[in-house]
Amino acid sequence: MNTEYIERLRLFNRFYTSVMGLLDKQYLDSNFSLTEVRVLYELANNVGEITATALIQLLHLDKGYLSRILRTFEKKKLIIKKQSATDKRAFFLQLSPQGEKIFTGLNAAAQQQAAHLLSSVGDADAASLIGHMDAIRNILTKTVVKNEC
């Protein structure tokens, strides 16, 4: 692979993580890390249908790391676990009313962050940026699917 491409990809990644605040210990000025917010997002968007095993596969998380996150969420009463009727070892996870409230606030903050970022560029540049982001996602999705087969 072309070493210049590798360096430019890494340069972009460093730039993007800095612009979006992805390396901040607390994401979106909250008490949650980026990973924790992403887990909350998946729980909010897979209501009553997702297990810890599915989260591990979806997010490519270490089992122990996710387990610690879920234990913390349980202590904070952000999630509800419901045992599967077909497999007593499996539990479906969902946000509690408190977890939904927290997620709603975090999601609003993420929306505001994105809106602020896009408002600083013109409509034409915003459309171009989003088009390029779609292209990146499409190209990398093909690569990830190919590598998982």
Tell the residue number behind the tokens 């360096």, with chain if given.
7
In the predicted structure, residue 145 carries a pLDDT above the cut 70 = no
- The mean of the pLDDT values for the chain is 93
Per-residue model confidence (pLDDT) at position 88: 85
Strand partners of residue 50: 93
pLDDT for 148 equals 64
How distant is the alpha carbon of residue 9 from its chain centre?
A: 20
pLDDT tens, position by position, 86-123: 888 889 999 999 999 999 999 999 999 999 999 999 99
Q: In CATH, what number does 32-102 get? A: 1.10.10.10
DSSP 8-class letter at 69: H
Q: What is the pTM of this model?
A: 0.87
pLDDT in tens, 42-94: 999 998 789 999 999 999 999 999 999 999 999 999 999 999 888 888 899 99
- CA distances, 74 to each of 30, 47, 61, 79, 83 (Å): 18, 16, 18, 6, 15
pLDDT of residue 18: 92
Strand order in the sheet with 91-95: 50-51, 91-95, 79-83
pLDDT of residue 102: 97
